[in-house]
Structure 1
Amino acid sequence: MLIKRDKWLQYRILRSRSSLARRLPKTQLLNKNTLAKMLGRYHSVVLKPRDGSYGRNIVFIKRKGANTYRVQNENNAVTMRGTDKVLKWLRKKSKGHRYIVQRRLQLAQIRHKPFDMRIMTQRKKGASSAWNVTGSYAKVAARGYLVTNVTGRPIPLLKALKLAKIGNRSLLVKAERVALLAAKQLGERYPKLRQVGFDIGIDRKRRVWIIEGNYRPDLRPFRRLKDSSIHRRILWYKKH
């Protein structure tokens, strides 16, 4: 089966397993009704292109008051009145891309900047092979941005949890367990799938969330980790 890069499809595959459903932020296909409903229910939402990658064209919307919203794309923010205006602005910008609307997580922070985890899961050839966590690092949003990325050297996860004063090894083990369960679920749908780089968030209440899985994750940040064995392990799994 063709492995399709589609955030909405992936959300539905993961949500079909009850133990993963509670790990997924509420997500809907974007239209006028769902945007109004989600903004009514949550203080802040994220709009993502269904086929997007590398954090491009992601839009954050925060409710400021009655029918007034702060809309941020990259490090540019504007205030708009009414969801109609927001959608009109997005249509101009999106060039035909279809979007999902997702509840925005209040991610744990490092030095007042949100961060999430990239957890790499891989398996050897053969649909019956077991999934393993082969590498991980923390991604921190640059100043003025809300999307997390790797601008400097990626941060080892235990160090990131310590800097954020949010948890220790047991929280990391929990996050890895969630990533492996999600990898197994996606692997059942796509027998030829052999790697998924998961973006895993920890909110301020120490709850673990699956933000999304990337079927073609960027491996360059793993090369920049001090522990070079992580990158070597990932490359070994890609060959075997």
Structure 2
Amino acid sequence: MRSLTKNKWKKYLFLKNYGPLVPYLPETQRLSGHSFNALLQKYHNVIVKPVWGSRGRGVIQVSYLGHNRYAIHYENVRKVGRGRRNAYRYIRGKIGPAEYMIQRRIHRPTINNRPFDMRVIVQRKQYSSQWVVTAKVVKVAGKGYIVSNNSRSKGQLLKFSTGIRNSSIRHLPINALESQINGVSILTAKRLARFFPGHRIYGLDIATNQHGRVSIIEANLYPSMSHFYKLKDRTVYQRILAYKQGW
């Protein structure tokens, strides 16, 4: 059980096996030469990430530029080369034998030309079966980075409403967007609760595209609270703690 809590691939499969969540899960496969070719040919933009990774470590973005040219973005370094085979060989040289997965890349909206996604906390009180979204934070990638993890890319953390109103999706109705994110997040928590019945908190990484379509990037059973502690307004952080202690 403990190994499953950290295994992104197995959690993805468990979520994907639940019909109502399928529309919100970007296609993901175990990384191999075949899956790399297939997904890159299908989507032109993919994310390669470790099965056992955390905090944005080891995440690589690959983008097709046309004319057999591919951009590989790792940490804050972007390299352009020719040919899918060479791109895959380069990535394998970076990651070695580590277990990796490949995922359709979500074209995330931006704040000041930097992509962002969200960390959503879903909790239930100790003797309750009702799941509640207690916190959301917008995570903006640092300059030159693709990952939004604050400690890794030194990006920006914003309250949900502030982030959306200053983003490239400011034209979307914020209440409707928040309602959809909350609904998908609670649905995800209920599904995970089938496999982890005693668990009371989940941290979900949620992204939207430019049109507001919601996608689940991944689910964490032991989410870091540092995102919320770093916000100037500690109200959200205090709400998480109150639910942790709640009966």
TM-score (norm 2): 0.90
* 1:60-209 alignment, distance < 5 Å: 60-125=61-126, 129-150=129-150, 151=154, 154-164=157-167, 165-167=170-172, 168-209=174-215
Instruction: Give SS of 1:4's match.
Output: helix
Report what 1:48 is aligned to: 49
**CA-CA distance at 1:237 after TM superposition:** 2.7
**CA-CA distance at 1:87 after TM superposition:** 3.0
**CA-CA distance at 1:153 after TM superposition:** 5.7
* Amino acid corresponding to residue 89 of structure 1 in structure 2: Y
After TM superposition, where is structure 1 displaced by more than 3 Å over at least 4 residues in a row? none
Q: 1:103-146 CA distances to partner (integer Å, 9 max, x unpaired)?
A: 111111112111111111112335x6221111111000111111
Q: Structure 1: where are the runs of 5+ without partners? A: none
Instruction: Give SS of 1:198's match.
Output: strand
In 2, the alpha carbon distance for the partners of 1:99 and 1:171 equals: 31
Identity, % of aligned positions: 35
Instruction: Give SS of 1:105's match.
Output: coil
Contact kept, 8 Å, 1:153 with 1:221, in 2: the verdict is: no
**CA-CA distance at 1:166 after TM superposition:** 4.1
* Amino acid corresponding to residue 109 of structure 2 in structure 1: A
Aligned residues: 239
- Does the alignment pair 1:235 with 2:244? no
Instruction: Give SS of 1:148's match.
Output: coil
Over the aligned positions, Cα root-mean-square deviation in angstroms equals 1.8
Contact kept, 8 Å, 2:140 with 2:156, in 1: the verdict is: no
